[in-house]
């Protein structure tokens, strides 16, 4: 007997049939004797249709009105799911973000949750009801509707689990869990039974895509045990918690990768103290997300800075740099497209020197040239040519023996 928060994303509630399927997953949990809070996203492509409508009204709709518009999506899903649960004889009740007491900052489109007022939800849970909450949305102190930005429903679920001191937060998705690497590319990819918050954070940030980094961070801070699992298959998923004792001997836990990267190099900068901050403040002010950054000092008076961006941002990045050429005071810009980032992640790395060296050796053995490198305590990222990406991932997956199950599965 406990409290479980379940989250179902847009693809899991994309049609009437899928919502009926979700209602079964909810009922199974309820029948196990648990209290259940369900967080749902908008139905499949409904957000896209709303965005398309908005674009017909205005070139750049105000973010406040976009939030007003988009939050209707989850409101539709919560009512439909609740109807389905009621039709099957269960007491259920739906709440929008504001009704569920999800308070946020006064920022439209990308607000953070500041507080959850749980009195109402607790009352309904106590009455034995299944509580269905709209993900992705909240309310400011002034009564304005806000959205939480990308991965918002994950964040709603984790935040509710933290506020209600739930035993677990289950993130249902269209894959059976977190894999050692993307199974669509590497057929020996293996589902992980467990993974730590930090490892998941690195994987999430590196584009593994199953879970939003913000939600993982929230879960880590509030020690919410997460499970990423399939909304259609009745199998155990991947547990994400502080320690992952069952696989703790694994040095490398997973491999993340991402294509369509571009390297931008700003050459001939004066190597002053403020050069780095000036260049990246300028880019941040223009909302350009920079990934890996490398600075190489070639001689005492000059320096080059390389960084990677998504290829779609490349031309905008170059434009911004050219606009501020006088301020930044550089000689020229070089760009290289068709790159990919491949990263190995694992908390065992900290105590195992030579992991990065082994990675470089594997890549070299496969004739793959490394163009950029970036490391953290639990990950090593390399930037290579896009055409080498899958070959690199397969070789690393083999070399670090990720397809082997080293411990008993639960």
339 DSSP 8-state letter: E
- Closest C-alpha among 326, 223, 349, 235 to residue 278: 326
Window of 93-101, 109-117, 250-258, 401-409 that interacts with a copy of itself by CB under 8 A: 93-101
Q: Which is nearer to a copy of itself, 71 or 262 (CB)?
A: 71
Estimate to the nearest angstrom the gap between the alpha carbon of 142 and the chain centroid. 29
Window of 75-83, 215-223, 352-360, 377-385 that interacts with a copy of itself by CB under 8 A: 75-83
Q: Kindly state whether residue 53 participates in binding a copy of itself, applying the rule CB under 8 A.
A: yes
Estimate to the nearest angstrom the gap between the alpha carbon of 379 and the chain centroid. 17
Q: At what angle do helices 389-399 and 355-365 cross, to 10 degrees?
A: 130
| Binding-site member from 28, 48, 87, 243 for a copy of itself (CB under 8 A) | 87
With a CB cutoff of 8 Å and minimum separation 6, the contacts of 21 are 12, 231, 232
Rounded CA-CA distance 409/168 in Å is 20
With a CB cutoff of 8 Å and minimum separation 6, the contacts of 134 are 39, 40, 71, 74, 75, 77, 78, 94, 95, 96, 97, 100, 156
Question: Which spans in 286-388 are helix H?
Answer: 314-323, 325-328, 355-365
Cα dihedral 262→285→204→112 (10° resolution): -160
Strand partners of residue 4: 36, 168
Window of 63-71, 106-114, 190-198, 253-261 that interacts with a copy of itself by CB under 8 A: 63-71
Mask for 246-285, x = binds a copy of itself (CB under 8 A): ----------------------------------------
| Window 295-314: residues binding a copy of itself (CB under 8 A) | none
Q: Kindly state the number of chain residues that form the binding site for a copy of itself, as judged by CB under 8 A.
A: 38
- Shortest distance, CB of residue 81 to a copy of itself, whole angstroms? 8
| Window 135-174: residues binding a copy of itself (CB under 8 A) | 143-145
CB neighbours (10 Å) of residue 62? 12
Q: What is the CA radius of gyration of the chain?
A: 23
Q: Kindly state whether residue 64 participates in binding a copy of itself, applying the rule CB under 8 A.
A: yes
Window of 94-102, 208-216, 280-288, 338-346 that interacts with a copy of itself by CB under 8 A: 94-102
| Binding-site member from 4, 5, 26, 80 for a copy of itself (CB under 8 A) | 80
Q: Kindly state whether residue 408 participates in binding a copy of itself, applying the rule CB under 8 A.
A: no
Rounded CA-CA distance 161/226 in Å is 9
Q: Kindly state whether residue 131 participates in binding a copy of itself, applying the rule CB under 8 A.
A: no
Q: Which is nearer to a copy of itself, 100 or 383 (CB)?
A: 100
Mask for 4-43, x = binds a copy of itself (CB under 8 A): ------------x--xx-----------------------
Q: Kindly state whether residue 103 participates in binding a copy of itself, applying the rule CB under 8 A.
A: no
> CB-based burial of residue 367 (10 Å sphere; 0-12 exposed, 13-18 middle, 19+ buried)?
exposed
- Closest C-alpha among 368, 383, 401 to residue 256: 383
| Window 334-353: residues binding a copy of itself (CB under 8 A) | none
Rounded CA-CA distance 104/113 in Å is 4
Q: Which is nearer to a copy of itself, 62 or 277 (CB)?
A: 62
Window of 88-96, 188-196, 289-297, 359-367 that interacts with a copy of itself by CB under 8 A: 88-96
Q: Which is nearer to a copy of itself, 74 or 241 (CB)?
A: 74
Residues near a copy of itself, by CB under 8 A: 16, 19-20, 50, 53-54, 56-59, 61-62, 64-66, 68-69, 71-72, 75-76, 78-84, 86-87, 93-94, 96, 99, 120, 143-145
């Amino acid at each position: 007997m406990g409290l479980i928060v379940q989250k179902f994303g847009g693809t899991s509630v994309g049609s009437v049939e899928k919502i009926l399927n979700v209602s079964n997953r909810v009922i199974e949990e309820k029948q196990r004797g648990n209290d259940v809070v369900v967080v749902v996203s908008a139905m499949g492509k409904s957000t896209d249709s709303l965005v398309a409508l908005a674009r017909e009204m205005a070139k750049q709709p105000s973010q406040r009105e976009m939030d007003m518009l988009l939050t209707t999506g989850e409101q539709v899903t919560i009512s439909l799911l609740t109807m389905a649960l009621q039709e099957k004889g269960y007491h259920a009740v739906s709440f929008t973000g504001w009704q569920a007491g999800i308070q946020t900052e006064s920022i439209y489109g990308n607000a953070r949750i500041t507080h959850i007022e749980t009195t109402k939800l607790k009352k309904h849970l106590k009455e034995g009801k299944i509580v269905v909450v709209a993900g992705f949305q909240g309310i400011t102190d002034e009564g304005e509707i806000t959205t939480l930005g990308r991965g918002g429903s994950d964040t709603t679920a984790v935040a509710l689990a933290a506020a209600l001191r739930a035993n677990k937060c289950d993130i249902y998705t269209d894959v059976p869990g977190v894999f050692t690497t993307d199974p669509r590319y590497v057929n020996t990819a293996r589902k992980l039974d467990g993974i730590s918050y930090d490892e998941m954070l690195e994987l999430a940030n590196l584009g593994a895509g199953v879970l939003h980094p913000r939600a993982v961070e929230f879960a880590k801070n509030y020690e919410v045990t997460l499970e990423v699992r399939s909304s259609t298959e009745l199998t155990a998923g991947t547990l994400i918690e502080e320690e992952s004792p069952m696989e703790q001997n694994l040095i490398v836990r997973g491999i993340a990768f991402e294509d369509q990267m571009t390297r931008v190099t700003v050459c001939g900068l004066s190597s002053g103290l403020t050069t780095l901050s000036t260049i990246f403040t300028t880019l941040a002010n223009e909302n350009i997300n920079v990934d890996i950054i490398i600075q190489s000092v070639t001689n005492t008076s000059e320096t080059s800075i390389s960084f990677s961006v998504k290829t779609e941002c490349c031309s905008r990045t170059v434009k911004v740099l050219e606009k501020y050429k006088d301020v930044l005071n550089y000689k020229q810009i070089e760009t290289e497209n068709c790159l990919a980032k491949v990263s190995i992640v694992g908390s065992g790395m900290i105590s195992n020197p030579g992991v990065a060296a082994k990675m470089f050796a594997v890549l070299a053995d496969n004739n793959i040239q490394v163009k950029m490198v970036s490391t953290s305590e639990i990950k090593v990222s390399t930037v290579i040519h896009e055409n080498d990406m899958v070959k690199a991932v397969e070789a690393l997956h083999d070399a670090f023996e990720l397809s082997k199950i080293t411990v008993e599965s639960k």
